[in-house]
Amino acid sequence: MEDLVKLIQAEYYQNDIPEFKAGDTLNVYVKIKEGEKERVQQYKGTCIQRRGEGATETFTVRKISSGIGVERIFPVHSPSLEKIEVLRKGKVRRARIFFLRDKIGKKARIKELKK
């Protein structure tokens, strides 16, 4: 029974997902359906967590819009995600960087990982 569930879930997996973790700056392209039309919207922000595994894996992206912090949770294998771009690799020592919620301006910056 468990194998059957994994077989069905594997059918919906997306294999073109790049490697990213908390602290990375992402550009997420999301398909939005408005009536009959469908368009792609960009959502650029910092990944503050990645959780779950398999079909239930999600990641949270935080951005500042008009001075207000906005967070959005995306399922990794969602059919509404067109693509994910990693713009910057961040250097953080935590898997969940919720401390960014309390920081404002320059204090909310994350150092870039040197290659």
Distance CA 24, CA 47 (A): 6
Tell me the mean pLDDT in the region 27-50.
95
pLDDT of residue 51: 95
In a domain, 111, yes or no: no
Note the maximum CA span of the chain.
52
pLDDT of residue 6: 76
Q: Examine the pLDDT at 13 and tell me if it is beyond 80.
A: no
> What is the span of the domain harbouring residue 98?
2-102
pTM: 0.84
In a domain, 107, yes or no: no
In a domain, 65, yes or no: yes
**Distance between alpha carbon 75 and the CA centroid of its chain, in Å?**
8
In a domain, 50, yes or no: yes
In a domain, 113, yes or no: no
* 47-87 residue pLDDT tens: 999 999 877 899 999 999 998 899 999 999 888 999 999 99
The CATH number for 60's domain is 2.30.30.790
In contact, 60 and 73? CB cutoff 8 Å = yes
Pairwise pLDDT comparison (3 vs 75), residue with the higher score: 75
In a domain, 92, yes or no: yes
Pairwise pLDDT comparison (108 vs 84), residue with the higher score: 84
Number of structural domains (the chain) is 1
In a domain, 20, yes or no: yes
pLDDT of residue 48: 96
In a domain, 29, yes or no: yes
